[in-house]
Amino acid sequence: MTATLLTNLRIWDGEDLSPADALCFRDGRIRAMGDGAELDAHGQGRRMDCGGLTAIPGLIDAHVHLELNPDNRKAPERKWVGKERLARMAERAEAMVRAGITTGRDLGGGAWRELKIRDRVNAGELLGPRLLCAGQPITSVGGHCHFWGGEAADARQAEAVLRRQLAHKVDLIKVMATGGVMTPGSSPLQPQFDLPTLAAIVELADEQGLSVAAHCHGTEGIRIAAEAGVRTIEHCSWVGREGWASDYRPEVAAAIAEKGAWVSPTISRGWRRFLDKRNAETLGRLQGAFGDMLARKVPLIASTDAGIPGVYHHQLPVALPVFAQIAGLTPAQALRSATSNAADALGLGKVTGRLQPGLAADLILVQGDPLTDLAALAQPAAVWARGRDVQLPA
């Protein structure tokens, strides 16, 4: 493939503004960054003047479900699993990458179809983000998202579910550490597994080189997941009898930080409702929890839970400003949570999430300054995923 040289560019590299004003990529990787005139002297290929544009790494959504249709308002039934057409899932993947999301972590489906999408994107047959997939989440009998087929009554059955995911070549393991909202009969407040069972799941996954993402709403489940050594805590809602964030416990946040787990709070654009005056009480609790977590250096990554009702797969760019407002992040902190920090959390720090020579050419160009206004992300001027211009007609 010929090289592409972007010049006259402002570059935010995933952590900070770079002194470089040009970036060259070829064969899917960033080859050089530096002074435009110098790079141009020995460069051949396509040259693009990018005056007025800022380059940032492609975004990472750490929590999506390609199998779920956001237009469905009800939880799927067991007999539905595996019925979702591959073509619909491929459309969602394409919408993600066109919006600038060049990596996604799929945290659950019932029929491993998202793994087919992953493999076909890797083969260059479909347009989509790089995907890490968890397959069927391990859950308790009748527990959260049991319709996906990952029920386990004890550690031995959990191992069987885990081995089934390995056979399908998943990239990580998802476990439902508490009940959820979407499944009738399961309670977000209640843990679904005790510490020995969850620790056994983490150990077994670790032996296979896989990390564990744990769905956690209630505080006791958050505590157990942190103690068990999971890599990421999904939702981390601190939910109590008084609602979201009503059971925040600083000592559990301290345990998360000490264990080095990442919190993935799945804040979608719809969370704008919490910024409304009517929800001032909930917002106050949420902001208090995030403020204390940040003070304790609990690391956060951006995620949306795309696929659940009303949360569309391509909306991370418009969710990030809401995440920043609720969690009290500067634009740079919010951008790091969706790029360099997310890549580190997902074990992809040597692959993507930063603009630096040797890493994948996953980058987006935006008009305006995303470091002062995240709204600049909503309409990227260009997107390359592993060096492929995804906004060109296929």
Binding positions for Zn ion, rule: CB under 5 A: 305
Cβ 234 to Zn ion shortest distance, Å: 7
Q: Which is nearer to Zn ion, 18 or 264 (CB)?
A: 264
Q: Which is nearer to Zn ion, 81 or 294 (CB)?
A: 81
Cβ 214 to Zn ion shortest distance, Å: 11
Q: Which is nearer to Zn ion, 291 or 310 (CB)?
A: 310
| Element spanning 19, H or E | none
- Residue 17 β-bridge partners: 12
Q: What is the dihedral of CA 88, 93, 96, 102, to 10 degrees?
A: 180
Cβ 307 to Zn ion shortest distance, Å: 7
User: Taking a C-beta distance cutoff of 8 angstroms, is the pair 216, 234 a contact?
Assistant: yes
Cβ 357 to Zn ion shortest distance, Å: 35
Cβ 205 to Zn ion shortest distance, Å: 18
Q: Which is nearer to Zn ion, 33 or 64 (CB)?
A: 64
Q: Which is nearer to Zn ion, 130 or 144 (CB)?
A: 144
Cβ 144 to Zn ion shortest distance, Å: 9
Cβ 107 to Zn ion shortest distance, Å: 5
174-198 CB burial, b ≥16 within 10 A, e <16: bbbbbbbbbbeebbbbebbbeeebb
Q: Which is nearer to Zn ion, 307 or 370 (CB)?
A: 307
Phi and psi (nearest 5°) for 303? -165, 160
**What is the chain's percent helix, strand, coil content, to nearest 5?**
35, 20, 45
| Element spanning 365, H or E | strand 363-367
CB closest to Zn ion, residue no:
305
Count CA atoms closer than 13 A to 77's CA, side-chain side: 2
Angle subtended at Cα 18 by Cα 16 and Cα 23, rounded to the nearest 5 degrees: 130
Q: Which of 272, 320, 144 has the alpha carbon at shortest distance from 218?
A: 144
Q: Which is nearer to Zn ion, 84 or 305 (CB)?
A: 305
